[in-house]
Chains A and B, each alone.
Chain A
Amino acid sequence: MTQQTPDVVIAGGGVAGHATAWELARRNLEVLIIDRHLPGRATSASAGGLWPVGEAVGLGCGVIYQASRSNGDGADAVPESLPDVFRDFLVESNSRFPELARELQDLTGIDIELDSGPGLLFLMQTARQQAVVDNVARGLPDGFVLELLSPAEVAELEPAVADDIVGAALLPGEDQVNPMMLAEAYKRAAIASGARLEHDRLVDEILREGDKVVGVRVGEETIHCGHVINAAGAWAGELAATAGIRLPVEPIRGQVVLTEALPPILSSCLSTSSCYLAQKRHGEILIGSTTERVGFDTGITEEGIRGLCQGAIKAIPSLADIGIKRTWAGLRPGTPDELPVLGPVSGIEGYSSVTGGFRTGIVAAPLMARVAAQDIVDETPDVPIEPYLIDRFGNQ
């Protein structure tokens, strides 16, 4: 049990919690991470795609989200883009990964399996999709590249991809990582920098006295601290409510299919209107995902899995005979505007959120953690925190 009063208690040990713990611990704060790995944690369920522009322009797994929001045929949905400021946030965060991978490897010995290929390849399976992608390409600012490929060019780049496509759009530089190794590396780096971890314990309540958050309750135990960080992911909204803070984070389920290990057959990350596919370091192909509002239910459904399998075969026909090793579902921390929630609540001392990663939590984690930590220690933030403050949702 804790004896002293830490500077910071971080509730939640997914990638956001551990990344923030490291940022703070290396700035010499006393950090205590309290974490219980609940079923459905997004970090462990995630595909680990690092697709800043893809997500921002709506061609990553966002297409699936949008398609499932509209009632029409998913193949013709028009992608909605995320605000430019967040697109830039994601691009900036993504750019930090190579250096981060080296640094974490040196500090902890863990390889976060950062793998780059040609990029994110969005398959256009209908003429309508092609028209939509053309619009997206035209709307991109200078410096952003979206290559349009003919079916023959796609066949050369990715021989496993089906040939009955209209073409494809390639976003170079969109890579992938192993999200669990990323979180584990952040965790060990935090511990190496002096952070403490209470594992398999759950923060039940954030304790507030008036306008000041003073600590947390873990079961029967009260822990006082200078600052509480809510990194509880899909559970962050529930946790914030215990302190009377309205945080509109809710679980959004995503089902995933993982194949058995294969020799290398895919070097890009693929995206279609029905699914995305990425071949991971150990050879398995990850096929995702659904977007469902079912509370904290982490069950998988026959329809969800069927849809993903059908989409996968449509993209890579040879997958039909490949074995499935595992299926699962994770709970993304969803927010109404798809942007994360970072930083304080105005009028309340001693509390910060580092959550709401939704579909971009992995690629955004390094910068989310950095900016939130900088805010706490009054350092000039690498990027402005304002767009991500909780106050944007209205009064508390």
Chain B
Amino acid sequence: MSPDSPEPTPSDASRLVVIGAGPAGMATAITLAERGLSVTVVDQNPRPGGQIYRYPAVPSTKPRQPDRGGALREHLAEHSDRITVLSDHNVVGIYPERRLGLCGPEGFRILAADRLVLAPGAYEYVPPFPGWTLPGVMTPGAAQQLVKSQGVAPGRRVLLAGTGPFLLVVALALHEMGVQVVGIVDTLRRRDAFWKLPSLLADGKLLKQGLDYVAGVRKAGIPLMTGHIVTRAEGRGRLEQVVMAPCDADWVADHDRSRPIVADALCVGYGFVPRLGLAQLAGCELTPTNLPGGWIPVTDAWGQTSVPGVFTAGDGAGVAGAIVAELAGQLVGLGVASSCGAIEASEAERSAEPIRERLHQLSRFRRGLDELGSLRKGLSQLADESTVVCRCEEIRRAEVDEAISSGSTTLRSLKVATRLGMGPCQGRMCQPACARRLYDLGLGSLEEIGPPAFRPPLVPVTVGQLAGMDAPGGEPADAELVEDGWEADSAS
């Protein structure tokens, strides 16, 4: 059974566009190319790889280990006759009929798609806590970028904190580059991990990998402080020390037993939030979950969203890591190929079978991990009255509480009452935690509280670019379709 198609299109006339060149996006493009289809990949970075497989900006001093990202980039290049990668391009808007507003080095233009695959990935979840805006406080991923991609140490005494296996990954990456990691503060209590062991055993290879990380951290002499949570970051003008405390099963801190750790870099993250802007602009239906960010697009067995012709894969469809992202990308590739008629539905099913089986095997493990990482109410209690909860607009928690007591208990109503979410980040940094807090306060269901509301442009573009003023000669230009021999649509 093939996904419902918007309209039957001959396979060689279909315009296929993938947004995002991380593992999911690359896997989709490769799968499509392997079946003889041409595809355009739009990516905001200078080279494909996404976040997890980011191509280093600065060549590393150490010999580069061959990694999955390199292999995927090679496969992508092998199919360069069919795969066009538009690097350094952002999707700023999605207009009716899957028309994309792109902004790249040559300015603004429209790219029309017959099938669209959204693979934007995710970003880190950091609930607000006192001092979290101090320079020196960053996400674990940001620290990883500094050291692996930019060749810069995040600090002289670096503390990792939060929850999730990613902390161990980053700690080891830092250690390998000679950075002093003074500790890892993880909310997960050993006894909680123990009860999840059965689901974690579902994939022996992944579990071993996780245990290897733990062993590696131990061998490196990095203190692993489980069942603890960071409660404050302190310093004059920049981070100088971090306060942490033991926490209970709900991650509620026991402030009476808190103690300071001297650190000049705090890398804190509690999981990942799917990037929803593209799905929202495309009009996809979303559904709430108990994971960071709360919402993911509704999809069918092929990754097609509620909008016919729009598919999604990877962490942007629901965070599950790079391995799952790649498999999901392959699956979506098959779904798209089938929906265009390039392959028979039965062939798609056949090819999908081993992929689905592997995903199923991984899902038990993932579910165990998800439960370990699911949000506990202690996170919502970290911020105090004066903590800035909306970084962009500098809105303190006290102002939010005032608005809540005047009847603003949804993200939308809080936004207009306090400006929370009106800054350039469009609420990415503040709304997931704000929604979670409303939920933990018992003020509504996740549906009632509502998803964030992204509006175009998803990344800043200039007035001139959207005015079409950047055509050669500076004359105003009407938006043109990306040329490659296609007939232009008549202007709508």
Interface presence of A177 (CB below 8 A) = no
Given A37-B410, A199-B407, A320:B462 Cβ within 8 A? yes
Q: Are B463 and A309 in contact, with the CB atoms below 8 A?
A: yes
Interface presence of A168 (CB below 8 A) = no
Q: Are A260 and B460 in contact, with the CB atoms below 8 A?
A: yes
Chain A residue nearest to B464 in the complex (CB) = A320
Q: Are A323 and B461 in contact, with the CB atoms below 8 A?
A: yes
Within 8 A of B (CB), among A284-338: 287, 299-303, 305-306, 309-310, 312-313, 319-328
Interface presence of B455 (CB below 8 A) = yes
Interface presence of B243 (CB below 8 A) = no
Query: Once the chains are docked, how many angstroms separate the CA of A323 from the CA of B463?
Result: 6
- B101: chain A residues at CB < 8 Å are 302
Interface presence of A197 (CB below 8 A) = yes
Query: Once the chains are docked, how many angstroms separate the CA of A332 from the CA of B193?
Result: 54
- A325: chain B residues at CB < 8 Å are 423-424, 460
Contacting residue for A200 out of B422, B448, B456, B461, CB 8 A: B448
Interface presence of B214 (CB below 8 A) = no
- B444: chain A residues at CB < 8 Å are 200
Query: Once the chains are docked, how many angstroms separate the CA of A199 from the CA of B412?
Result: 11
- B469: chain A residues at CB < 8 Å are 310, 313, 320
Q: Are B463 and A184 in contact, with the CB atoms below 8 A?
A: no
- B179: chain A residues at CB < 8 Å are none
Q: Are B416 and A183 in contact, with the CB atoms below 8 A?
A: yes
Report which residue of A301, A312, A327 has the largest number of chain B beta carbons within 10 angstroms of its beta carbon.
A327
Report which residue of A180, A191, A287 has the largest number of chain B beta carbons within 10 angstroms of its beta carbon.
A180
User: Chain B: interface residue count, which band?
Assistant: 35 or more
Interface presence of A187 (CB below 8 A) = yes
Closest-CB distance, B164 to chain A (whole angstroms): 32
Q: Are A306 and B409 in contact, with the CB atoms below 8 A?
A: no
Q: Are B466 and A184 in contact, with the CB atoms below 8 A?
A: no
Query: Once the chains are docked, how many angstroms separate the CA of A299 from the CA of B97?
Result: 13
Q: Are A199 and B463 in contact, with the CB atoms below 8 A?
A: no
- B312: chain A residues at CB < 8 Å are none
28 contacts between A and B (CB under 8 A): A37-B413, A44-B416, A180-B416, A184-B406, A184-B416, A187-B407, A197-B406, A199-B409, A199-B410, A200-B409, A200-B413, A260-B460, A300-B93, A300-B455, A302-B99, A302-B110, A305-B466, A309-B468, A313-B464, A319-B464, A320-B469, A322-B462, A323-B460, A324-B462, A324-B466, A326-B422, A327-B456, A328-B455
Q: List residues of chain B with CB under 8 Å of any chain A CB.
A: 93, 95-96, 99, 101, 110, 403, 406-410, 412-413, 416-417, 422-424, 426, 444, 448, 453, 455-457, 460-464, 466-469, 476, 479, 491-492
Q: List residues of chain A with CB under 8 Å of any chain B CB.
A: 37, 39, 43-44, 180, 183-184, 187-188, 191, 197, 199-200, 257, 259-260, 287, 299-303, 305-306, 309-310, 312-313, 319-328
| New A-B pairs, 18, CB < 8 Å, besides A259-B463, A327-B93 | A37-B413, A44-B416, A184-B403, A184-B406, A199-B408, A200-B410, A260-B460, A300-B456, A303-B491, A306-B466, A306-B467, A309-B464, A309-B466, A310-B469, A320-B463, A323-B462, A326-B456, A326-B457
